[in-house]
Amino acid sequence: MPLQNFVTPLHTSTKRDYVARVVEHDKAECATVAKQFGMDYWDGERQYGFGGYKYDGRWRPVAKAMAEAYNLKAGDKVLDVGCGKAFLIYELTQEVPGLEVAGIDISEYGIENAKEEVRPFLKVANATDLPFEDDTFDLVISLGTLHNLYIYDLRKAVKEVQRVGKKDRYIAVESYRNESEKANLLYWQLTCESFYTPTEWEWFYDDCGYKGDFEYIYFE
C-alpha cells in the first residue's frame, strides 16, 4: 500500500488559524450544523464549513498527478466516494478525455450543486453501501470523507472501496503524527469522527483487507 502525495501540496497552501476556530464561534454548534452537509456546510459562513465552495481550478494539479500515477486513459472507469461538488471528477475528465466517471455523496445539496458537466454521473448514496457491482472501476478514490464515519461504518466503507475497485484504489484521510497536530486537528475539524495516527490507519486498512494507496492530511 504505497503512500501518495496528491492532496498535501494543495492542503498546505492554505493558512489556518486553529485557535480562532474554537474561540470566535460556538464550535459545538458549528459542528452540529456542518454535519448536516447542507447549504451551510458548502456555501454558508466559514465557521460551518467551506465558506463558499466554488469552482476555481484548484483541483487540476491533483487530477493531473492522479492521471499520471495511475496511467489513466480513455475508457477507464473512475469512482469518487464522497465527491461533494465533483470538482476533482470534472478535472479528471479534462486531464483524460474519454474517461468514464462516477461519484457518490451523502449530501443532496452537494450533488445538486455539483459541476454541471459531470452532474449526470453522480448519485446521492452512502459510502457504506456503494450502488455498484464488484470490480466495476479501474480506480476508486476517496478524499477527506472516510474519517467522517464512526468505526463500524468506516470498516464497511473501506471494504466497499476495495470491493468495487478492480485495479487501483486511493484513500486520503485526516491524521496526526504528534500532539501538536492532534490538537490542531481537533480545533479545526467539524465533521471528523475517526481520529487515528498513520500507524493506526494502516493497521486498520490491513485488517479490512484494503489493498490500495493512501495519503494523510496533517494540520501542522
Supply the pLDDT for residue 104: 98
Instruction: For the chain, give every domain's residue range.
Output: 8-217
Supply the pLDDT for residue 30: 97
pLDDT, mean of residues 102-119: 98
For the cut 80, the answer to whether the pLDDT of residue 169 exceeds it is yes
Supply the pLDDT for residue 32: 98
pLDDT, tens digit, 9 for 90 and up, residues 117-160 = 999 999 999 999 999 999 999 999 999 999 999 999 999 999 99
For the cut 80, the answer to whether the pLDDT of residue 1 exceeds it is no
- The pTM score is 0.96
Give CA separation, 51 vs 35, 39, 42, 45, in Å: 14, 10, 6, 5
3-state secondary structure of 79: strand
For the cut 90, the answer to whether the pLDDT of residue 26 exceeds it is yes
Q: Which amino acid, 131?
A: P
Phi, then psi, of 59 in degrees rounded to 5: -90, -5
pLDDT, tens digit, 9 for 90 and up, residues 75-106 = 999 999 999 999 999 999 999 999 999 999 99
Domain 8-217, CATH 3.40.50.150 — does that match?
yes
